[in-house]
């Protein structure tokens, strides 16, 4: 029942399109980490509808970018923000990948940059941190940055700006999977569906 509450809040934000705040959104701050993950996984699974305006509203309401320090949340929040080129998230995301060396947490951020056409930013962040990362993590980030962003560019509208936010007319109905971009539940659903 609690997971339904987290999913419902995510869908309310999406449905409101960033124009208003859902009733009871403050309850988010009382949730445990798992509930917050469900909220963010729901947003992630509906990414084409999570516009710049939706992200801005969530951040305004919940101070996600500046005050949410749960690594399980940050690894979900920052890629969405970077994919929509949400400016307030860049500095905190860069600090995140500069202080957290675990691949599980940094790969999604670099994927968010790579697959939204921001390879140059990813390269700068990687160059600043590659000696900080374990060699396996460094190699994983390098693989992400060397990958062809066009393979998954449909996950992000690389031309979205605050002015064009909300136009989901070209959004795909089925998103293909990238293990670093989609959450584990989405990966499972896609694998079961298409195998």
Cα-only R_g, the chain: 16
Check the CA dihedral 173-17-77-157 and report its sign: positive
- What would the pLDDT profile of 128-141 be if each residue is shown by its tens digit? 999 999 999 999 99
At residue 178, the pLDDT reads: 40
State the average pLDDT over residues 160-176.
41
Q: Is the pLDDT of residue 15 over 90?
A: yes
CB 173 within 8 A of CB 46: no
In this prediction the pTM is 0.78
pLDDT at 179: 41
By the 10 Å C-beta count (0-12 exposed, 13-18 middle, 19+ buried), 99 is classed as exposed
What is d(CA 178, CA 158) in angstroms, rounded to the nearest whole number?
Answer: 17
Give CA–CA dist 188/194, Å, rounded. 10
Domains in the chain (CATH in brackets) are 2-194 (1.25.40.320)
The number of beta carbons lying within 10 Å of the beta carbon of residue 176 is: 13
CA distance 147 to 182: 16
Q: Show the tokens assigned to 120.
A: 């140059």
Where is pLDDT greater, at 195 or 128? 128
Which pLDDT score is estimated for 152?
Answer: 58
56 token code pair: 């801005």
Closest CA to 55 of 24, 25, 81, 88: 81
Cβ contact 72:37 at 8 Å = yes
C-alpha 121/C-alpha 113 separation (Å) is: 7
Taking only the tens place, the pLDDT of each residue in 70-111 is 999 999 999 999 999 999 999 999 999 999 999 999 999 999
């Amino acid at each position: 029942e609690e997971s339904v509450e987290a999913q419902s809040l995510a869908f309310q934000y999406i449905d409101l399109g960033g124009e208003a705040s859902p009733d009871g959104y403050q309850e988010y701050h009382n949730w445990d980490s798992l509930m917050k993950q469900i909220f963010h996984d729901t947003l992630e699974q509906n990414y084409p509808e999570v516009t710049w305006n939706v992200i801005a509203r969530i951040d305004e309401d919940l101070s996600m970018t500046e005050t949410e320090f749960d690594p399980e949340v940050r690894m979900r929040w920052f890629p969405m923000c970077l994919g929509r080129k949400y400016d307030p998230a860049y500095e905190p995301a860069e600090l995140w990948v500069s202080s957290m060396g675990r691949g599980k947490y940094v790969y999604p951020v670099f994927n968010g940059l790579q697959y939204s056409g921001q390879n140059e930013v990813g390269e700068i962040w990687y160059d600043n941190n590659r000696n900080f990362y374990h060699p396996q993590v460094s190699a994983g980030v390098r693989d992400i940055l060397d990958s062809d962003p066009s393979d998954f560019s449909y996950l992000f509208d690389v031309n979205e700006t605050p002015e064009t936010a909300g136009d989901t007319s070209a959004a795909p109905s089925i998103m293909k999977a990238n293990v670093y971009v989609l959450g584990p539940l989405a990966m499972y659903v896609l694998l079961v569906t298409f195998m």
